[in-house]
Chains A and B, each alone.
Chain A
Amino acid sequence: MKDFLLSISSTFDYHAYMKLTKVQAIFWSLADILMILVFLWIVDLLLRKRGGKISAWRYLLLLLSALMTPMLLLAGSSRSFFLMEAAIFAVQYLLLIYTLIRDGKSVLDVLLAYRGQDRADHLSQNE
């Protein structure tokens, strides 16, 4: 392992690092977009059970971050890349945190009702 790391230290230069960073950032952003989209769908599904729903602007913000993602490939310097990356992930994380704060409790209540139904069925099967 030591020899491997020593060889890496002479081959893994700035250009290799930046190429890999751009590819990673695209995969990272795509993972975040999919994760938040699925989370919003789950929250929406559960809120509809209580007569609510998720407003469209949250999906629009997520779409905005998705549209910004390919721009990461165009960034010239590492600083401009980092600033762009920061802007994209700020939108995504703020959206996630806002949804958790606003709808977290309601989601839990619906899931608790679901689990309660599960337990009731389980007990009646055992009797």
Chain B
Amino acid sequence: MSEFLRSLMHFAPSLTHIMGLCWLFAEGFCLVYVRWIYLRLYSPPKRSNRFFLLLSITVFLFLVAIALYIAFRSYQHAGFPGGKRAVLYLNSTFWRSLCVAWVLVEGLILWYIIRITGLFQGEAGSTVLSITVILTLSGFSLFYVYFEYLFRLFSFQEMLGISRLVNLSRFFIKVSGFMWIFFEWAVAIKGLQFLRFLRASAEERIP
């Protein structure tokens, strides 16, 4: 039994991966909620949020499975083709993909918040902001794809040493961090505007 439990520990992801997945779960939860609010306010109740919910759960479980796989591979990295360099590549690529997922989820939350507030304050003002968010997310996604292409090139053609690869990966993580913090501030400011609007109109408008 203890042997079995010990073997299970080989699949335990690192604390960073566990926390990263927890944060993603929390943000994904908020995204599903704001989308549900938006659909209920915008369209008749028949339009379902179920497909989006199932898709979100599937993507999340897929990421959990990758974290378990990386934990297992990291444990036995001595026998892993490519050794330490390949394990570093797997770990850092996974962490970057989590960062990208946070940016996309935060960006989509902002997009839905803009749409929701637009339903109350008139559609015209929200269109430019909505397009700006979508363009920013598209630009960031393109940068990510290009970065991953270069990172793979630098990793496996051994153009850079491991410490320089780590520096490069950290730089991308900081760029992602800037993006999701920017989106969170935008959500907070948009929320503040909505709160002021509600305070001004709630007395007469909400029965």
Contacts and interface: CB of A to CB of B under 8 A. Distances in A.
B30 interface: yes
Interface string B148-177: 001000100000100011011011001001
Nearest to A25: B177
Contact of A31 (B37, B119, B185, B206): B185
A126 interface: no
Contacts of A34: 185, 188, 192
Contacts of A31: 181, 184-185, 187-188
Contacts of B180: 28
Contact of A10 (B120, B154, B164): B164
Per DSSP, chain A at the interface is helix
B22 interface: yes
Contact of A115 (B119, B184, B198, B202): B119
Given A9-B164, A28-B181, A104-B33, A49 B206 contact: yes
A96 B23 CA distance: 12
A123 to B, nearest CB: 15
A90 interface: yes
Interface size bracket, B side: 35 or more
Contacts of B33: 100, 104
Interface string A10-51: 111110010011001001100110110011011001100100
Interface string A86-126: 10011001101100100010011011111101100000000
Interface in B11-42: 15-16, 19, 22-23, 26, 29-30, 33, 36-37, 40-41
Interface residues of A, number: 48
B170 A12 contact: yes
B142 to A, nearest CB: 11
Contacts of A74: none
B47 interface: no
A89 B185 CA distance: 15
A96 B40 contact: no
A114 B198 CA distance: 10
Contact of A5 (B40, B168, B174, B207): B168
Given A42-B198, A45-B202, A114-B206, 11 more contacts: A9-B160, A12-B168, A28-B181, A32-B184, A38-B188, A45-B199, A46-B206, A82-B15, A108-B40, A110-B206, A115-B41
